[in-house]
A = this chain, B = another copy of it.
Amino acid sequence: MSNYLTILGFNSAIPTVNSATTAQFLQMESDHFLIDCGEGTQVQLRKAKVKFSKINHIFISHLHGDHCFGLPGLVASFRLLGREKPLHIFGPKGIKEMLETIFRISEVHSGFKIIYHELESENSELIFENKRVEVYTIPLNHRIYCNGYLFKEKKKDRHLVMEEISKYEEIDISDFQNLKNGKDFTLNNGKIIENKMLTKDPDESISYAFCSDTRYLESVIPIIKEVDLLYHEATFLHELKEMAEYTGHTTALEAAKIAKAANVGKLILGHFSNRYDDRTVFTDEAREVFPKSYLPIALEAVKIESAKQKAL
């Protein structure tokens, strides 16, 4: 297992024959998250060969159609496929009313529970946590209430060095978790064995930040500081800066400035306006400021690697 981001669609506003609207599938080892769900996402998930049963947590940035109109159909399909596990949906206040109205009129009777986590805060907050992962909101500035999401692996266990540990008969298997957590070991004679003699540094934890849709917004920089991978919208080139500002979007140059200031490992751009046929213009512009800028490749699983680990 490892960490992979699969971008299912990255078109802005209107889906085209070759390009779906925003949706992403994020695998963080044994955890799986769906981020945004534009119309047609369930078919994109099929194309990416993602099992629907893996999806238990969906994070919606905002309630414009190109980010959420695939949700009713996906939930209806879950039901038709006999789902029983609860489904957690995180998104702006209003998402429950929208979905529940549709399900009532369309007579989608869930065999499973939908747990809505409606968001209203203007501040970054921890909204999900399990043993391995934390998810924080990234308040954005769009025409409608909107959050990006920061996915962070928690600090991982230290690696046991069995060659050293086996030298001490007193160290039992029941002590291993304490060692993994970094604790020293005290022998019966009172002598302390330093943890670093028995373990090696853990693997670096990885982090991923999703920022779409938003005006250029410097307040996201401290929140996404040093993430390994940043997806940031870049609807326009900088020559249309005023259009970006007016419609609540970012230019490629601005996205690169955010990536540079936050010192992220890698930047993937997306949410391109349909006026651009050749998308390489976006990376051309961004790389002037932040060389590690890339175009999204739909349906391809991109490995998320620790920038720190790679630098060692």
Contact = CB atoms under 8 A, between A and B. Distances in A.
A70 B106 CA distance: 13
Interface stretch (A12-20, A164-172, A201-209): A12-20
Interface string A36-79: 00011011001100000000000000011110111011001100
Interface stretch (A26-34, A95-103, A232-240): A95-103
Interface in A85-134: 94-95, 97-98, 101-102, 105-108
A227 to B, nearest CB: 29
A196 interface: no
A81 B274 CA distance: 12
A143 interface: yes
Contacts of A193: none
Contacts of A65: 72-73, 76, 106, 108
A25 to B, nearest CB: 15
A297 interface: no
A40 B72 CA distance: 12
A68 B39 CA distance: 12
A80 B21 CA distance: 14
A144 interface: yes
A106 B16 CA distance: 20
Given A14-B77, A15-B42, A42-B39, A97 B105 contact: yes
A16 B95 CA distance: 26
B46 A80 contact: no
A97 B100 CA distance: 12
Contact of A106 (B13, B17, B68): B68
Interface in A205-248: none
A280 B101 CA distance: 39
A271 to B, nearest CB: 14
A76 B65 CA distance: 7
Contacts of A101: 97-98, 101-102
Given A17-B47, A69-B69, 8 more contacts: A14-B42, A39-B40, A39-B73, A40-B43, A65-B106, A69-B106, A98-B105, A107-B143
29 contacts: A13-B77, A13-B80, A14-B42, A14-B81, A15-B42, A16-B43, A16-B46, A17-B47, A39-B42, A39-B70, A39-B72, A63-B105, A63-B107, A64-B106, A64-B107, A65-B72, A65-B73, A65-B76, A65-B108, A69-B72, A69-B73, A69-B106, A95-B105, A97-B105, A98-B102, A98-B105, A98-B106, A102-B102, A107-B144
List the 8 closest A-B pairs by CB distance, nearest first: A39-B73, A65-B76, A94-B105, A101-B101, A98-B105, A69-B73, A40-B40, A14-B77
